[in-house]
Structure 1
Amino acid sequence: MPVVLLLDIDDVLVLPRGYKQGIPATLGTFLRRWGWEIPLPTEADIEWFEAAGVTSEWDSTAICLAGLLLEAAQLDDAWIVPDFEEASDRLAQRGLDGRRIRPDYRSWVRMAGEAAAPGERPSWAALRLWRRTERPQRPRSEALGALLDRLLRDTHSLSCPTTAVFQTWMVGHEAFERTYGRPAPLSVPQGLLELDEPLLDRSGAQELMNAWYEGRLAAAFYTSRPSRPPTPDPAPPLPVYSPEAEQAARQVGLEDWPAVGLGRLFWLAHSVGLPENPTKPHILHALAAFTTAIAWANGIDETRALHLAYEGFTLPHRIGPLAHWVELPWHVVLVEDSTKGIQGVFRAVRRLYELGISVRLTVFGVAPHPGPKAERLAGYADPIVSSVNDAVEEIVRLCRTSP
């Protein structure tokens, strides 16, 4: 089974209208509370966020709100206290004229994306930069620093105000309370994920499934979406364990394939004590997608597959199934619209070579139209395609011709 297909989800398999609308919906929730009427990020802005390497809406939303608070602090500092909820109440009471706020969403997010070190969340980079350059110059600097810390320190936790609101918008308040076992921060009858549109044609999905059933293809989703953990007993409810990757897989008819998203990665990081962020462009995310795809197709337990990825990341030699997989020349095919995701797979392929595993890599970069994303992808992808459907025929041909 020499062909291993790794598929990104958002903007590749589905058009994530929900996520794209979730950023302005979340920011709008706070702005309405404060009585501000200012422009919200557009889809063009969000494409710039992704081109800058900030692909997590949890990060970009928190960065945008932090930037707005820093702008407000320049105009009025009487509302600034360390507690976020109290500060929000005071800001609403101050009646600050929102027209005086000058949002620069692209610059704020690009700054964070460019400053983020490998494995560092862009929100951490924004916090580091703003605490150094902005906070010392502001009145009530300690209280302002505490607010920035609350927004940017842990965007992958429901303790982050923007993340809790964002997740409510995604799944609706009833599903939020059912999934996380806590009250939703606002009422949203229907989640925005219901607005997602499939991009992969049904005929293309069936061709890929046929190759998979014939044993010519191993496949996994390589995604930064939340997903289920690999066991029915996850850690305490976190945003990462929401089955949003699985929902997208059902939409395109590929629900039989494993979704190596945040739930599986954070479960792995927790089980091995990994302190760093394991998601794209971290090598562990790509290794986990590779090992899970092969293990899933060969009946190997998924938790074992994830630990194989960690062992491949940390150990200097092959063990277990990795020692047997060296016998085949694997062909990894990646369909991805993010340079971060491609970089992670590059690192994984280099690591597999170091372990003595022969791997050929083909990258399909997905960019529906010319623009900053297409320009960045051109330096990483073999062909640039406007749609995943344009890659299906070639992927199936590779499956048929591989030994």
Structure 2
Amino acid sequence: MPVVLLLDIDDVLVLPVGYKRGIPATLETFTRRLGWEIPLPTEADIEWFEAAGVTSEWDSTAICLAGLLLEAARLDERWIVPDFDEAMDRLAARALDGAQIRPDYVAWVKQAGEATRLGERPSQAALRLWQREVLPQLPRSEALAALLSALLATTHSLSCPTTAVFQTWMVGSRAYEEAYGRPAPVEVPQGLLEQDQPLLTRDGARALTAVWYEGRLAPAFYTSRPSRPPLKEPPPPLPVYSPEAELAARLVRLEDWPPVGLGRLFWLAEAVGLHENPTKPHLIHGMAAFAAAIASVDGIIEIQALQSAYETLQAGELKGPLAEWAEFPWHVVLVEDSVKGILGVFRTVRRLYELGMSVRLTVFGIAPHPGPKAEALEAYVDRLVPSVNDAIEEIVHLCREG
């Protein structure tokens, strides 16, 4: 039975030092502008964000800043105007005592994660909830709603203030300006992504590469990192097309494997007219990763594989390369550290089975220590292991022995 290996990247193959430090660095950029000295999210807080299914730093950072602004609105209404930059200037001029701002980052992000609907980003869920439950109790609610919308409605765009600052912290000011063709919103000499550390050992990468060379493994990265689109042409200047998945793949010496990240997904969404968030746990992410993995070893053009994933979901029957691959039994092996990602692949495998493909699933959950992430994962995995390296031997065995 051929093995399709889907690998998450962050906290599975790579320790995302940059992303974790990027959240407090971005928030501090704004709180320093406001003159506030307040606690920022800790690594433990960020683990709670991920356990709640909010794995995109663009979403969690925007939610955290929006929560802080709501707290400021309870203390003083005179700064509230619809324009974000003007509101920040007016709020800074008010010189509120930061000690009066009481951040509850985990509660804000967790509430958004729990309320997120299929095809919706957690930031959009937070906006929906706060518009309904919080804004009616606050002054200048219409202006405040416009202000929150500027933060939360389009976090996957550089028009979102926190996303623009976060991306600058990730790649540095110079690389930001070169990639996006616009001035960096903050001066950052060196990007935090350069601090990322490999979790997959060199021996682990060699073992996986060996079974790939033997033709026993069809791999792909199943990640919410930005990535390049499946085209050679330069992509438009959007944050989803930053080659951050490719950088991680290179760090663990697996750069020849297809990274099905945001660049691939948003390219596909635009190509077919999908107006939903296509990332985990959306069914299209798991289906696209499955198709791209097999295409990478079967000589199929990646664009055709991605489009066949969408066409299969739309038609309710296997289309294109997916129909051709249905004559083989497949074993999907997922290595993932988030429930959201696991649920997306659960749904993918179930849909493929319903459409007539012989497919089974084995899930390795990654949790390096006891805590909220391990507790959340335990009910969804076949094996919970502290590191991807603890799963390599069994994955290789599955490839060679079935």
TM, length-normalised to structure 1: 0.99
Q: Is the contact made by 1:364 and 1:385 (CA closer than 8 Å) also made in structure 2? A: yes
1:350 is aligned to: 350
* CA apart distance, 1:254: 0.3
* CA apart distance, 1:319: 2.7
Secondary structure of 2:391's match? helix
Q: Is the contact made by 2:221 and 2:260 (CA closer than 8 Å) also made in structure 1? A: yes
* CA apart distance, 1:235: 5.3
CA distance in 2, matches of 1:320, 1:122: 33
1:259 is aligned to: 259
1:228 is aligned to: 228
Secondary structure of 1:255's match? coil
Q: Is the contact made by 2:309 and 2:322 (CA closer than 8 Å) also made in structure 1? A: no
Q: Does 1:242 align with 2:242?
A: yes
Q: Is the contact made by 1:234 and 1:267 (CA closer than 8 Å) also made in structure 2? A: no
Matches within 5 A, 1:190-209: 190-209=190-209
CA distance in 2, matches of 1:155, 1:371: 28
Q: Does 1:288 align with 2:288?
A: yes
Q: 1:252 to 1:268 in 2, by over 3 A?
A: same
Q: Is the contact made by 1:235 and 1:267 (CA closer than 8 Å) also made in structure 2? A: no
CA distance in 1, matches of 2:142, 2:316: 45
* CA apart distance, 1:318: 2.1
The one-letter code matched in structure 1 to 2:147 is L
The one-letter code matched in structure 2 to 1:390 is D
The one-letter code matched in structure 1 to 2:136 is P
1:27 is aligned to: 27
Q: Is the contact made by 1:9 and 1:223 (CA closer than 8 Å) also made in structure 2? A: yes
Q: Is the contact made by 1:22 and 1:192 (CA closer than 8 Å) also made in structure 2? A: yes
CA distance in 2, matches of 1:375, 1:64: 24
2:63 is aligned to: 63
How many residue pairs align between the two structures? 402
Identical counterparts, % of pairs = 75
Where do 5+ consecutive residues of structure 2 fail to align? none
Q: Does 1:176 align with 2:176?
A: yes
1:394 is aligned to: 394
* CA apart distance, 1:316: 2.1
* CA apart distance, 1:89: 0.6
2:16 is aligned to: 16
Q: Is the contact made by 2:79 and 2:94 (CA closer than 8 Å) also made in structure 1? A: yes
CA distance in 2, matches of 1:158, 1:31: 20
The one-letter code matched in structure 2 to 1:394 is E
* CA apart distance, 1:4: 0.4
Which digits, 9 at most, give the CA deviation of each residue in 1:286-325, with x for residues without a partner?
0000000000111111111110111121112223322221
Secondary structure of 1:335's match? strand
2:372 is aligned to: 372
1:218 is aligned to: 218
TM, length-normalised to structure 2: 0.99
Which digits, 9 at most, give the CA deviation of each residue in 1:198-235, with x for residues without a partner?
00000000110011111010000000000000012365
1:110 is aligned to: 110
Q: Which moved more, 1:38-47 or 1:348-357?
A: 348-357
Which digits, 9 at most, give the CA deviation of each residue in 1:68-103, with x for residues without a partner?
000001111111111100011111111111011000
The one-letter code matched in structure 2 to 1:206 is R
